[in-house]
Chain A
């Protein structure tokens, strides 16, 4: 299981939690697992999220590896000028 940290704005959509345990080996599985557990998160994830895994901000890659002890944070999708 991986502990996934949500930004607190998502708490209301995740049963009041801002830390969620998900069975996942990749970023893609983290996102799929979140939606499976809390369907209310679907819109936010569809709107675009990045995932920080051990401090590395993954903007797109669903295949990036996640380990059970990884620090995982959901962030809003990054863009720039």
Chain B
């Protein structure tokens, strides 16, 4: 079995890893690069806990092969904060109690950050449909949606 050598950029850092062709980007992030923020909740693209961005596009890292990351820009939850300054979404999620167990939180943060970059003024319905692929079993989504809407409003006021 021959492994594939991959060079990619994760959260701005150029990294390299070797992977089996069957391994996913999620496997590579977690097992090769020690970035365990992305979680495997299903392995079938149904739960969104493994959400990352690839060249700016939101994807499930469980549905991307590690080999496909070659030459790409990958963004994970570990890259959302700027040093010790949290992204406004991260701050708001804590303040709004928008997480209980927190297993879905990395994926939801990556997904909502991508949403607000694309659409700074989403309606509640737009937020809900954008996040339909991010399952949360604890919160009933209420406080998550409120945190996202309020962050969006803050960011609009600030810009």
A touches B in complex, CB < 8 A: no
